[in-house]
């Protein structure tokens, strides 16, 4: 870590919601921050309040040139990066055949490829430092998906798959990886950050339509508090043994548990079939 023992964070999507709450908490905590946003002028108040410890940088994570420039700006400002928070992302609601090709591509480009762009740009620095923490904002839908979130949840599942392998690849290099799985939190997610299918098909009204109604109903009263999540993230980043998966909120916790129980029941029910497909004469590969 840096000589004065204060970490350097780089957070994507610091304009609102989790990213903004975490940016404020990190600065209040006394750490240093590269706060990034597509419109960095939205961060002017933070820069005025913490002129010595925050640098605001324009960043659209789908633009690799901008990603490199943001990482370079972090090094120039503070000489290192201790924590990368891949927070930027947005939802897409609609049945798989209701959403357009373009909506699908854009969603994966941000939620999956944008995060990968960031990780690949920052890793050489963390490797050289022999330390660092990559925090990837997934969603409970990235572990136990919802009807209507095939693409959004699919992108988050993919991000979790990437993160799982990455966790093992970089652990021996002194680098930590944490996947965050929040349930519904009071941010702009259901409002401006929820892309909706361009056309609807009546047959999905009872399934996808119901989940969409649930989202619209809870908008503004989601149980999760982003400021509390921000405090937990700071705690996790400062812990010696951070989790690979961090579930946030009772809704997410309950969904996670149910998924594990149903996976276990299905695995048990089909154990013999799974075992039946191996050759009779093989060594042990477990
Ligand atoms: N709130 C929830 O219930 C919930 C639950 C599970 C997971 N999440 C995840 O939490 C993360 C943050 O979302 P939020 O809930 O805090 O919603 P939010 O308040 O709407 O924030 C989303 C942030 O992502 C940024 N962003 C979107 N596309 C971007 C891009 N291409 N490049 C850079 N920034 C981009 C937005 O920037 P602009 O201001 O420029 O649009 C904004 O800062 C997302 O990854 C989301 O999937 C949220």
| pLDDT tens, residue by residue, 9-33 | 999 999 999 999 999 999 999 999 9
250 is catalytic: no
Q: 189: which DSSP letter?
A: T
Pocket, ligand 1, Cβ cutoff 6 A = 12-13, 15-19, 37-39, 59-62, 87-90, 110, 114, 137, 139, 182, 184-185, 187-189, 192-193, 222
Q: Which residues contact 225 (CB under 8 A, 6 or more apart)?
A: 185, 186
Instruction: Give the phi and the psi of residue 91 in degrees, each rounded to 5.
Output: -90, 165
Q: Is 200 exposed, middle or buried (0-12, 13-18, 19+ CB in 10 A)?
A: middle
Cβ contact 94:152 at 8 Å: no
The predicted pLDDT at position 5 comes to 73
> In the chain, which residues have pLDDT < 70?
1-4, 283-286
CA distance 91 to 16: 15
CA distance 33 to 30: 10
The predicted pLDDT at position 16 comes to 98
Which of 156, 133, 128 is CA-nearest to residue 144? 156
The predicted pLDDT at position 284 comes to 62
Give 53-99 pLDDT, tens digit per residue: 999 999 999 999 999 999 999 999 999 999 999 999 999 999 999 99
List of domains in the chain: 8-254 (3.40.50.720)
138 is catalytic: yes
The predicted pLDDT at position 1 comes to 47
The predicted pLDDT at position 238 comes to 98
CA distance 126 to 72: 13
């Amino acid at each position: 870590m840096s000589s004065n023992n204060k970490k350097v964070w780089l957070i994507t999507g610091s304009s609102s919601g989790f990213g903004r709450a975490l940016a404020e908490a990190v600065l209040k905590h006394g750490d240093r921050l590269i706060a990034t946003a597509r419109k960095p002028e939205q961060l002017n108040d933070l820069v005025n309040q913490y002129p010595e410890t925050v640098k605001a940088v324009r960043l659209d994570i789908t633009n690799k040139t901008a990603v490199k420039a943001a990482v370079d700006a972090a090094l120039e400002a503070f000489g290192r990066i201790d924590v990368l928070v891949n927070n930027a992302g947005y939802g897409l609601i609609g049945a798989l055949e209701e959403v357009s090709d373009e909506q699908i591509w854009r969603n994966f480009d941000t939620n999956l490829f944008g995060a990968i762009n960031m990780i690949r740009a920052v890793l050489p620095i963390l490797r050289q430092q022999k330390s660092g923490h990559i925090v990837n904002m997934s969603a409970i839908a990235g572990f136990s998906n919802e009807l209507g979130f095939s693409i959004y949840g699919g992108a988050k599942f993919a991000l979790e798959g990437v993160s799982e392998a990455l966790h093992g690849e970089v652990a021996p290099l002194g680098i930590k990886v944490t996947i965050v799985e929040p349930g519904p939190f009071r941010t702009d997610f259901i409002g401006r950050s929820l892309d909706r299918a361009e056309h609807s098909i009546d047959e999905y009204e009872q399934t996808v339509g119901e989940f969409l109604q649930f989202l619209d109903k809870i908008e503004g009263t989601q149980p999760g508090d982003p400021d509390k999540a921000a405090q937990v993230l700071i705690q996790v980043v400062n812990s010696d043994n951070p989790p690979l998966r961090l579930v946030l909120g009772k809704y997410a916790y309950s969904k996670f548990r149910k998924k594990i129980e149903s996976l276990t029941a299905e695995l048990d029910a089909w154990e013999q079939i799974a075992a039946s497909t191996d050759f009779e004469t093989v060594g042990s590969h477990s």
